[in-house]
Structure 1
Amino acid sequence: MLQPDYSQFPAELHDLLKQQLTRLEDHHELIAAALDDALLPELYQVLIGSDFVTEQLQRRPEFLTELTARNALTEPYTAATYRALIQDATQTLSSAEALMPVLRRLRQQEQIRLIWRDLTRRADMASTTQELSWMADAFIDVTLEHLYRFHCERFGTPHGPADEQGERQPQRMVVIGMGKLGANELNLSSDIDLMFCFPENGETVGGRKCLANQDFFIRLGQKLIQTLDTLNGEGFVFRVDMRLRPFGSASPLAISFAAMEHYYQDQGRDWERYAMIKARIVAGDQEKGAELLKELRPFVYRKYIDFSAFESLRDMKEMINREVRRKGLEDNVKLGSGGIREVEFIAQAFQLIRGGRDLRLQQRELRNILPLLPETVGMPEHAVTELLDAYTFLRNTEHAIQALADKQTQELPQDELGRARLAFVMGFSDWQAFVNELDAQRDAVRRHFADVIAPAEESTGDEASTNNWLTVWTDELSDEEGAAVMAEQGFDDPARAFKLINDLKHSRTVQMLQQTGLERLKAVLPQLLEQISAVDNATETLSRVLTLVQAVLRRSAYLVLLAENPAAIQQLIKLCSSSVWFADQLAKKPVLLDELIDPRTLYTPPDKAQLEAELRQQLLRIPQEDTEQLMEALRYFKSAHMLRVAASDITGVLPLMKVSDYLTWLAEAILKSVLEIAWGLMVEKHGRPLKSAGTPSELDFIVVGYGKLGGIELSYGSDLDLVFIHDCDPNLFTDGEKSIANSVFFTRLGQRIIHILNTFTAGGQLYEVDMRLRPSGNSGLLVSSLSAFEEYQHKEAWTWEHQALVRARVVAGPSQLAEDFEAVRARVLAKTRELPALQQAVVEMREKMREHLGTSEHEAQSEGLFHLKQDQGGIVDIEFLVQYQVLAHAISYPSLYRYSDNIRILDACEGEGLLSAAEAEQLREAYKAYRATGHRLSLQEQSSVIKEAEMRELRDQVRTIWQRVMQTSH
């Protein structure tokens, strides 16, 4: 029997140890025989720290005998040791299916060894992370060698194109390790971030079936992932994440060196520079891989000193901070404040800034970089020492957390037993002693991170002013006394202002607040009132801001955010004063308060490329299969950026046209990501649709935007008019195990896209989608092939459908299919048409719309009202004029259909002489004025109906031009 000396362990862990030993009672003799007197006490220590080890020994007690027979618990391994172990275990195997159980058994045994040595401190943190990385390298490379051989036997060996001597060289795959694997810093339960590539395009030679090199390596990569990642009764080898590859989940699994170099040269983003610091060839053709990384080095390390890296890393860290706050990850030792990620950011900031000039900084391992910083960038020696100590402590804590159940988590335990186990493993007498040390280490990281990357914002305040405002809150003032105080402070409606504060004070929510929440409210209220009193519409602004305060009272961390960021309060008051829409958005989604902290980002919305890169980076951190979390991330992203655009709009930083541009770019970035997500989910379930017999489709599907989206004219509340088109044979099938007809695949793909966009979640609705402009409207197929779409447009479409096509353009999907669509659009718009019939159809449709949607005759005449969009001389008149000109004259003037937005089409009409310069200018000015007013009304949550006198001159000009161009005899 195993008989521990329980006096060596904390009393609260005695029952746990007894339970673990009871689970192993059938194997006590075997285990005791395997361990000498020095190792037995370590066994009890490991059983306390790891349910995973207990479970594995319960299933396979012989693991210990095998490990001790080769002194594996007491001696370190080298990279060669791991490789030899895996090669010996797999050398006689002849199929991928046979590999899987052997690899898993070996991984579980070696995981026991690594956890044992880490928890007993036979191995320090650096040794553990290095050995884990060596083990991963060996598993990937040996498995790849076997699978490459199996695939060559079936498909032939891939070769590149012929060289000058006419010879073709065989090709092997290159596997790039990213993240912690690339940096030789894997933790005890890491997934592995990989990218697959190959030297050159070509085809296989000598197999039963010839394949293009890319197809061969995609299949090889898929099988490698399946062999390592699949979870079965034996567990898994490593969880594999491929989302860091160029273009993410929507791209081919393996690409050529040329494609990879082209991507990073033309499309690479700042966050990808950060990621590529750690890139390392972990398997496959090491020589060719080294050549590739050398070619990519200029993308990562700039020749000049690049201080913009500070800003990029600061932005990345702020995004992580928002995620931490949103998900409540403060107890996460990796992502939380003062955590592992901040230490990494400090090192990598200086690598990105100076690595191009100082080659010593071009290393992957953080533990190698930090000691260089005193000499290379002047960081104090004591700061580096503190950071290294903190990093070691935090990584040891991370390992202790993960050793418990072999799960990838960095969250501190919340239960008493879990805390006692962690404190014991970390060498502390109790939880409080551990927490004290953890807090000290995190404080050190937080301080140094603030010094390097994120200088803390200093708060200012006037004590006398604070006390004055608190009087309104704390003293029992009569209505008259309260109103008098508010009048002294400059409120335009002092009685209402005091009532608003008094109502909040006596509300049930405030009465039920805990003391902490009340203190936080009292800390921020004087700052809010001081800023509000300075605006012109102070009382209305107070009403809007207190609605927000009411919304966040039970989540008072938001009050702390405001109290500690005076600049955020300043922006809040300025924007809420200007827009009730802005105030309502914040009240509905208080998490957006984060966006107010930095005015630089608040008033400088990112451009289209930056939007796409930022969204992609956020989605990369979410498991591909977690659709719910992906949907929430998309909704937050949209709300945050719409808020930024509104802030710039309200303050006049952005003109109308730019506001619509940004809102349209935002929708496009989201649609591209939604298409990638939906495509990935469908392909995972059903395989890829066949474009033609034997040729899988990469992504032959486009999303076409109509209306305001197509015309680059989105507003704040716009829905999306969409049409879905594919370019595969609808009669073929997908190539997956659950194969379905292409037509069914694309219909379900369209349904999934709509579901992601339309569904209401905790974060609201992403966009309302209108599909009525597809061929045959609501009675037609949800998704059409391009050829069917063209046939419908030529043979069945109504005039109004051709009008709609004027404002159509591809907003997501592959460029080749987009070009094909544009060619179809051009052919349809440039058809020969009978002008009288066309004119009559356009006018009749316009009159029908005006009758149903415009203001009534009574409203127009007696109340002098004008509907900006639908009434005579309004927005739709201009749009119909433009569409008529395109349909009537595109056959002669191709410039008319080059663009889909009204302003540039009006420019083309002027250029071709269809409108005089004066008429074109009048229409442009009216269109912009109407839309600017519409934007302003949206921000005030008012309808598009205004007093006719405000726009009378512009309206008369539009009506005059309409009558000249569209006069008819019917």
Structure 2
Amino acid sequence: MNSGDLQRAVDLARSHAPFLAMLLDRESPLLDDLEHALIDPLKTARGLDGEMPEARRLRLERRRLALLVALGDLSGRFDLTKVTTLLSDFADDALDRAIRTAIRERTPDAEPRGFAAIALGKLGSRELNYSSDIDPILIFDPATLPCKPREVPEDAAVRIGRRVIEILQARDGDGYVLRVDLRLRPSPEATPIALPVEAAISYYESQALPWERAAFIRARACAGDRALGGLFLEAIRPFVWRRAVDYGTIREIRDISRRIRDHYAQAQAFGPGFDLKRGRGGIREIEFFAQIHQLIHGGRDPALRVPATRDALAALAVDGRIDAEDAAALTDAYVEFRTVEHRLQMVDDLQTHTLPKGQEALDNVAALHGLEDGATLIERLRPHVERVGRVYDALAGEEEPRLTADPETLATRLAAAGFDNPAGALRIVEGWRGGGYPALRSPQAREALESLLPGLLDAFAHAPDSTHAITRFDAMLSRLPSAINFFRLLEAQPGLTRLLSAILCHAPTLAEQLGRRAELLDGLIDASALEPVAELPELIAEMAARERGVDYQWQLEHVRRLVGEKRFALGAQIIAGASDPIDVSHGYARIAEAAIEVLAMATVDEFQRAHGRVPESELVILALGRMGGRALTHASDLDLVYLFTGDYSAESDGAKPLGAVTYYNRLAQRVTGALSVATAAGPLYEVDTRLRPSGAQGPLSVSLDAFVRYQREDAWTWEHMALTRARPIFGSAAARAAVQGIVDDVLNGARPERNILADAAKMRDEIAAHKPPAGPLDAKLLPGGLVDLEFAVHVLQLQHRTAFAPQLRDAIVLLIAEGLLPPTMADAYDLLGRLLVTLRLVAPDAQPPGETTQALIARAVGLGSWDAVVASFERTRQEVRDCWAQIRAGG
């Protein structure tokens, strides 16, 4: 090269690069001996006279070096390696001096140690371009970091880090030093800008995401306490370079590429406006091609652990891991792309990688590159872009369609799909992809999610309320410890995804349960899940299965799991419109009765092992309320009374004998616990025992003799009203018959004379005063609701000693047949019952739900519209109010 080359470079800079022209004017002394200045550009750039603050000195050095490197580049004296090495070495030095300055400004007498910068990205591989930002991770050692008196190291490190950034990024008339991007540190939205070294090591050992492995291929300790940086990198080396191939990481790198392609889709049609860095067939795809092969093979072959892209391609080719011709083609393309990228940045010192769209601007860049015009530049780049695209496409292979990962494109697609709030849906999806939830931390989980996303979002978008569906699914995911099997189940069962969407839209109660136990969805795989619940003997046989012999705890878990699945499936039947809510209500009751039978028997057996049996005695369980009447809702508790037969003064015959009263009270406590104490499979039922003799003040279990005496002599009217729905559900046939006989005798007159009507009216008024309706749809507690209907029925039953049937509708039909109730009360019960069962799932707060859920309620109660539901509800309540008012009036 001769001086003419340098003069041509100067002329090109003045004519086609305003930024360089400005530097030529401001740094004109450098041109006096440009040949000498280019021998060691870094030394020349640092050759400033006079004292000045370090920050200003660095800004002046940066602009001097920028001019020298550009002239060396344009003249052909510096190849791409020389250019990027000079820029990277300056950045290392600038970052190191900024750290030292920041420490010494705060603690002048301290040795600047305990604080290091780890370079990632292009600085890590010494491939920095003219306008690159740098991507360091700042770490510190609390034990050695210089601090001010009474200052904790964490605060000192953050202040040092902020000052470092200020020194490098501050702009004035002299320009700036470097742009700094700290977002590659762990959880940048939540962590301080400088991390304790042990915490950083712990993160990369246990929590880091797969893409972070790829980032660390190019990591090196570049500034500050390099010994500290080296220790950190050595500690996390096993995280970066794994001997076992991790295809989840490979998939994630490809997904990053897909995201970039999606985002820059408008620049993928090669020509003016093409993004050399991110476009299809551009710089990023060359880098990712190398990094994917390094991640696959570098764990076993240290020779492949080279940070620079061209070095990596060469090493992979030598090792036979990639085709040598492909490596050469990608290398040539990389040099061409990066060189033109530098021309783009020389023009105005902008961080750009995009070919100008305007013809004049494109011609200007071409001229700076020494070409005739923009068209010539395009044609020179075209074969490289096409070859890189083909090579990378072959690596990506034939993959199933995936949802776009670019935010702008995804937002457009979500809106087009039909989401009510596409911006909110976008935030949720991006949160999932960020791996923030425990269930999404693993590559396998995120891979399973990506496979599911297109179908899942399509189901949500077409749901009656897409916002409810996706937000409740998000809430569910946030609580799941693991989600891989859940995702795979949904992927394999598209119909299940649609049902899940409906559940999430309409049923907060079920959605909350799914959030605790996603495996509940497993029970819906079988088509029989949407059929009526089996009869009691079959349910008992299924729950009593003892795969592990006499393991009591296993039995508890087994029953809880089955009950949870079956109750959930019953709720899903209502959401799917597959069953009448009245039938579902009976199904809930059969499930509860089977669970009581199996768990009470298992508890009795377990109790007897320690305490034996009380001779000629046994436990009997009497169901009252909705459980007695075989009409539970999803939210119903169980009203139970524990009784025992035989002599209350007897004693058990076990190794630890107990008197009968103590025996059965403890046994009752155990049964209650078996039914209500939450285990790993979740809670089962709330058990209410306040309807026992003497209420909450009395013993938990009483003898039959005491029960008979109490009911015949002391019980109040409300207790006899409760007895109208009493039903023995546990005990031998003889014991149940004995209890039923007692109940029948009491109801038929073996009870104290009371003013039934006055007592009932007073009690109803107390309920109204102390337990108001939850909302305008409270089918139970509103005036004219189920409670009023129940009071009407029970008063007539006790007054007339007739129509005793535990199931309320059966009693209503009998009372109608005897002319004691108006015929409308049967239909009233049906509507109120269906509403109660449905609303417990879809509107547990008894407030009017959204329009789409209103339609579901209308369908469930057999009406054509929500207006019809409201009108029927009001009319029915009026009919019940009138009926109860007439009974209260003595008519």
- State the TM-score, normalizing by the size of structure 2: 0.51
Give the letter for the 1:966 counterpart. Answer: R
Match of 2:556 among 631, 646, 655: 631
- Aligned with residue 573 of structure 1, among 495, 501, 511: 501
Deviation, structure 1 residue 884: 0.6
How far residue 505 of structure 1 moved from its aligned partner, in angstroms, is 2.3
1:871 to 2:782 alignment? yes
* Structure 1 counterpart of 2:838, one-letter code: R
Please point out which of 470, 480, 497 is paired with 2:403. Answer: 470
Q: Secondary structure at the match of 2:759?
A: helix
- Structure 2 match to 1:686: 611
d(CA) in 1 for partners of 2:470, 2:485: 21
> Which residue number in structure 1 is paired with residue 716 of structure 2?
798
Deviations 1:609-668 (A, max 9, x none): 221121112xx11342x4333222222111100011112122222212211110000000
SS of the residue 2:403 aligns to:
helix
User: C-alpha separation between the residues in 1 aligned to 2:502 and 2:756?
Assistant: 50
CA contact (8 A) 1:840 1:968 kept: no
Matched, 1:641 2:559: no
Q: Distance in 2 between matches of 1:645 and 1:855?
A: 26
Query: Does the alignment pair 1:484 with 2:412?
Result: yes
Q: Which amino acid aligns with 2:743?
A: R
RMSD: 2.8
Q: Separation in 2 of the partners of 1:627 and 1:835?
A: 47
- Asked if residue 621 in structure 1 is aligned to residue 547 in structure 2, the reply is yes
**1:826 matched to 2:744:** yes
Does the C-alpha gap of structure 1 residues 614 and 912 become closer, same or farther in structure 2, counting only changes over 3 Å?
Answer: same
Q: Secondary structure at the match of 1:761?
A: coil
For residues 682-721 of structure 1, what are the structure 2 equivalents within 5 Å? 682-691=607-616, 697=617, 700-721=618-639
1:780-791 → structure 2 map (5 Å cutoff):
780-791=698-709
Paired position in structure 2 for 1:840:
758
Cross-structure match for 1:934: 836
Q: How far is the alpha carbon of 1:834 from its aligned partner?
A: 9.3
What displacement does 1:542 show? 2.0
Question: Hey, what does 1:90 align to over in structure 2?
Answer: none
Q: Is contact 1:703-1:813 (8 Å) kept?
A: yes
Specify which of 806, 809, 822 is matched with residue 900 of structure 1.
Answer: 806
Bigger shift: residues 797-806 or 809-818: 809-818
Q: Is residue 2:837 matched to residue 1:909? A: no
Q: State the identity as a percent.
A: 28
How far apart are 1:468 and its partner, in Å? 6.3
Offset at 1:760?
2.2
2:493, 2:847 → 1: CA distance?
A: 39
Aligned residue runs from structure 1 range 379-390, under 5 A = none
Native 8 Å contact 1:758 1:765 kept in 2:
yes
Distance of aligned partners of 1:465 and 1:952 in 2 relative to their CA distance in 1, 3 Å threshold: farther
Q: Which amino acid aligns with 2:794?
A: Q
Q: What is the CA-CA distance between 1:715 and the residue it aligns to? A: 0.5
For residues 255-312 of structure 1, the C-alpha deviation after alignment (integer angstroms, 9 at most, x for no partner) is xxxxxxxxxxxxxxxxxxxxxxxxxxxxxxxxxxxxxxxxxxxxxxxxxxxxxxxxxx
Distance in 2, Cα, partners of 1:719 & 1:614: 23
Give 3-state SS (helix, strand or coil) of 2:723's partner.
helix
Q: In structure 2, what is the Cα distance between the partners aligned to 1:642 and 1:929?
A: 22
| CA positional deviation for 1:855 | 4.5
Contact 1:733 1:742 in 2 (8 A): yes
Match of 1:586 among 506, 509, 514: 514
1:529 is displaced (CA, Å) by 1.8
Partner amino acid for 2:760?
A: V
Q: Deviation at 1:750?
A: 0.6
Match of 2:587 in 1: 662
Letter of the aligned partner of 2:520 in structure 1?
Answer: L
Residue 546 of structure 1: how far off its partner (Å): 3.2
The alpha carbon displacement at 1:968 in A equals 5.0
* C-alpha contact 1:552 1:559 (8 A) present in aligned 2: no
Residue 870 of structure 1 deviates from its aligned partner by 2.1
Post-superposition offset of 1:583: 2.2
Which residue type is aligned with residue 801 of structure 1? Answer: E
Please give the per-residue CA displacement for 1:350-378, whole angstroms capped at 9, x wherever unaligned. Answer: xxxxxxxxxxxxxxxxxxxxxxxxxxxxx
- Give the number of aligned pairs: 476
Q: Per-residue deviation at 1:904?
A: 0.5
Aligned to 2:860: none
Residue in structure 2 matched with residue 523 of structure 1 by the alignment? 451
2:884 to 962, 965, 970: 962
Cα shift at 1:558: 2.4
Which residues of 2 match residues 320-335 of structure 1 at below 5 A?
none
Relative to structure 1, the CA distance from residue 833 to residue 640 in structure 2 (aligned partners, 3 Å threshold; closer, same or farther) is closer
Q: Deviations over 1:732-788 (max 9, x none)?
A: 222223222222221111111011122122222211111111000111121111121
2:888 counterpart letter in structure 1: M
Deviations 1:809-865 (A, max 9, x none): 111221111111111111111117899822111111111111111259xx9xxxxx4
Distance 1:512 1:746, change over 3 A: closer
Partner Cα distance (2:488, 2:572) in 1: 22
Alignment partner of 1:750 is 2:668: yes
Q: 5 Å matches for 1:364-513?
A: 470-471=403-404, 474-475=405-406, 477-478=407-408, 481-509=409-437, 513=441
Residue 774 (structure 1) aligns with: 692
Code of the aligned partner of 1:470? L
- The unaligned stretches of length 5 or more in structure 2 are 1-395, 849-868
What is the deviation of 1:578? 3.6
Which entry has the higher C-alpha Rg, 1 or 2? Answer: 2
Matches within 5 A, 1:176-191: none
Residue aligning to 1:534: 462
Does the aligned pair in 2 maintain the 1:504–1:510 contact within 8 Å?
no
For each residue in 1:538-594, what CA deviation from the matched residue of structure 2 results, as whole angstroms up to 9, or x when unmatched? 232222233334444634232223323334334323433342322222121112121
Paired with 1:660 and 1:787, the residues of 2 have a C-alpha distance of: 34
Aligned to 2:351: none
Change beyond 3 A, Cα 1:464–1:491: farther
User: Hey, what does 1:296 align to over in structure 2?
Assistant: none
Is the 2:567–2:588 Cα contact (8 Å) retained in structure 1? yes
Residues in 2 aligned to 1:508 and 1:702: alpha-carbon distance in whole angstroms: 51
Partner of 2:771: 853
- Deviation readout 1:139-162 (Å, 9 max, x if unpaired): xxxxxxxxxxxxxxxxxxxxxxxx
Q: Secondary structure at the match of 2:755?
A: helix
Residue number in structure 1 paired with 2:274? none
Mapped to 2, the partners of 1:817 and 1:721 lie a distance apart of 19
Change (3 A) 1:469 1:938: farther
Distance in 1, Cα, partners of 2:564 & 2:488: 22
User: Are 1:607 and 2:535 matched, yes or no?
Assistant: yes
Structure 1: any 5+ residue segments left out of the alignment? 1-462, 692-696, 860-864
| Aligned CA distance change for structure 1 residues 582 and 867 (closer, same or farther; 3 Å) | closer
Question: How much does 1:931 deviate?
Answer: 2.3
Describe the shift of the 1:482–1:901 C-alpha distance in structure 2 as closer, same or farther (beyond 3 A).
same
Q: Verify the 8 A CA contact 1:532 1:573 in the aligned structure 2.
A: yes
Q: 1:566 to 1:523 in 2, by over 3 A?
A: same
Give the AA of the match of 2:874: R
- Distance, in Å, in 2 between the alignment partners of 1:523 and 1:740 is 61
Query: For 1:791 and 1:578, how far apart are their aligned partners in 2?
Result: 49
Contact 1:868 1:945 (C-alpha < 8 Å) held by counterparts? no
Aligned AA (2:779): L
1:922 aligns with 824
Name which of 667, 672, 678 aligns with 1:760. 678
Q: Which amino acid aligns with 1:513?
A: R
8 Å CA contact 2:713–2:752 kept in 1: the answer is no
1:835 and 1:888 in contact (8 A); partners too = no
Cα distance in 2 for partners of 1:580, 1:955 equals 26
**Residues 953, 570 of structure 1: CA spacing in aligned structure 2 closer, same or farther, 3 A cutoff?**
closer
